[in-house]
Structure 1
Amino acid sequence: MKCRFVVAITIASISLAGCVSTVNNSRGSSSNYVDSQAVAPGVSGVGIESQDVVAATDMMLRDMLSNVTLAGQSTPPRVIVDSAYFVNESTTRINVNSITDRLRINLNRAANGRMIFVGRQNVAMIERERELKRSGVVDGGTIRKTKATAGADYRLAGRITSMDSISKTSGMASRYTQMTFEMIDLELGTIVWSGIYEFKKSAQDDVLYR
């Protein structure tokens, strides 16, 4: 009786193993690194993608560095480059920080002191540290003490807009996207520099942007 039970269990185990081995549960494909300036195979749509962010920010960087008002003064101007006044009004879903962060970081590196960048997005952190220093909780650091934090001369503003068209018969979608960049004089309100990046894409099966 005991032998029959062992044999039955063994046969069941072999049968189960055989069933499992014949089932193909593999799905999808392994991840691969893709050049951020290249079109991703199979997932390219009509919206703003990494290659557009790279191309737009590189173009704006070169143009801003060639502007005498921004990068040719004997006293480097203080500028703010963040997303506070850079708005997305297009039909593409995108985090605009990916655009302004890349522009600011690469512009700061390339400017090499010709512009001074004010981190206004970090003002809460700065004010907290200044409060700790002046209340005596911590010492004054090793660099300097100032009466106030740095004021800015110019600040980035911009807008992303788009125009869409879709064919009901073929399902073909087309989108024209326009990205505008402007540096605003924070005393006069004048525009000291402007830049624009635009493109148009078409696709039959658009992708989902997140």
Structure 2
Amino acid sequence: MKENNGSKFLSNYLKKLRAEEVSHKERITKMSLKIGVIIGSNRPGRNAIKVAEWFKEQTDKYESMDFDFVDLAELDLPFMNEPDYPSAENYQFDYTKSWSKQVKSWDGVIIITPEYNRGIPAVLKNAIDYLYNEWNKKPLGLVSYGSALGYRSSADLHIIAVELQMAAIREQVAINIWQHLNEKGEFVGDEHIEKKAVTMLDQLKWWAEALRTAREQ
């Protein structure tokens, strides 16, 4: 039986609506920024997890960004043992390929780091050094903590960011860890560091959008 004009019009109209809906979903997916959050300590009893749990509460306020938290203790990379330069991306091991794929999917990076002897933990430097191109042309936000607020580990990461062709965000969250642990050892935030987190995340969002657009050109 032949389709009458009315049925044909309705069929075409519904197809158009479905196509527009798919297109809209694709645009929304593309608009969403994927931000990697690296928990940069693997020490047993570390405070990094407590800081990360607090920071996750801050990221939950941002619907336009999808945060991918990575615990280096769980990632458990061996000491860097790839035979070729990272920039060649000629990876021999599956764990490197998996790490590369994960970082490559990010539009920006946030590192939560303590300060060990005026520097960053070895496990964090090791995870960074496995890759090169995957970090390029992406913004870097920092959440540091320690008795000196982690400023010197942050300074290390700013220098590393230059070599990795990353844009380090000026605003950071710097925490005096001993002022934010209660008698039970639980991390307690306050208005000051919450405001710092908002400012850093707002700046990171701007840079992530701008640099993603630039990378796609």
Pair in the same fold by TM > 0.5: no
Larger-Rg structure? 1
Kindly indicate whether structure 1 or structure 2 has the higher relative contact order, using CA contacts under 8 Å at least 6 residues apart. Answer: 1
Normalized against structure 2, the TM-score is what?
0.28
Q: Which has the higher strand share?
A: 1
Q: Which has the higher helix share?
A: 2
